[in-house]
Amino acid sequence: MAEQFYGQFGEDRLLADMFRDGGAGVCVDVGANDGVTGSVSLYFERIGWRCVLVEPNPDLCARLRRERASFLFEGAASAARGTTTLMLAEGADLSHAVSSIEPGARDGIRRQGLTVREVAVATAPLDEILEQAGVAPGEIAFVSIDVEGHEAAVLAGFNLARWRPRVLIIEDNSIFFGNGLRGLLERQGYVRFRRTGVNDWYAARGDAVAGERPEQAYRTSMVRARGLMIRRNLSDRLLALPGVGGAIGHVLRSLRGQSSD
């Protein structure tokens, strides 16, 4: 029976090849969405891995409980324990994909012709979430972080020296200059070695998964991926056009959804 993968840009297929000979492992999916669409972790759950899922959207959490068997933290991974407001985008298919807890999210969502529903959500450092899930330091194969601009805050609550995941996959929607995380992660012993779509891949320095020349490998994969980002930037400009942005947004979200299937 053929293997079934779900990742938006083939991340789970690449990870499966990377860790194929290591047996069942542990993975962490921060911004788990509905647990199926574009999921980096679903394939691994189905082959017996332990997965930790983090998702603040209560509607998506309801589906996660139906579709997935893994540990779920309903809330946002962040720098500290507390509560915050999730700007939940509504009004079109797949609109939830641009929901965010970042300042200024409301205006960005409305520019796309969508409405905003405010939802109070819990926050907790990823360190605490992993402890709740019973994860032990050193056993995490990979962590995927897709949190619509909140990546730095997630890393602020995640002690890499303690947990030492082998691979980090972090969304970066910037065009040319990066999201500012490269230097932070290099100081903690992680180097970039691959880019898929809008995601940068990091590995612990010296780990075989990064290859012998990680930065060279990153540059090669980055060229194609940045082309995708330029196209997305152009689409965002179209979304901001008065009167037609909402209609264009509906078409683009539909196309992005199809690319995730």
**pTM, full prediction:** 0.83
**Cα–Cα distances in angstroms (integers) from residue 227 to residues 112, 144, 156, 178, 222, in the given order:** 22, 22, 30, 14, 8
Q: Please, how many CA atoms are within 13 Å of residue 2, restricted to the half-sphere of its CB?
A: 3
Fold of 11-81+123-224: Rossmann fold (3.40.50)
How much is the pLDDT for 106?
A: 85
pLDDT attached to residue 252: 57
Distance CA 55, CA 207 (A): 29
Give the SS3 label for residue 141.
strand
pLDDT band (50, 70, 90) for residue 102: confident
Residue 204's pLDDT is 93
List the domain boundaries for the chain.
11-81+123-224
Tell whether the model's pLDDT for residue 94 goes beyond 90.
no
Q: Name the more confident of 217 and 168.
A: 168
pLDDT in tens, 121-174: 999 999 999 999 999 999 999 999 999 889 999 999 999 999 999 999 999 877
3 state DSSP class of 130:
helix
The single-letter code of the amino acid at 103 is P
Nearest to 239, CA basis, from 148, 111, 100: 111
For the chain, what percent of residues have pLDDT higher than 70? 84
pLDDT in tens, 219-257: 888 877 666 666 666 766 666 666 665 666 666 556 555
Sign of CA dihedral 129, 132, 136, 139: negative
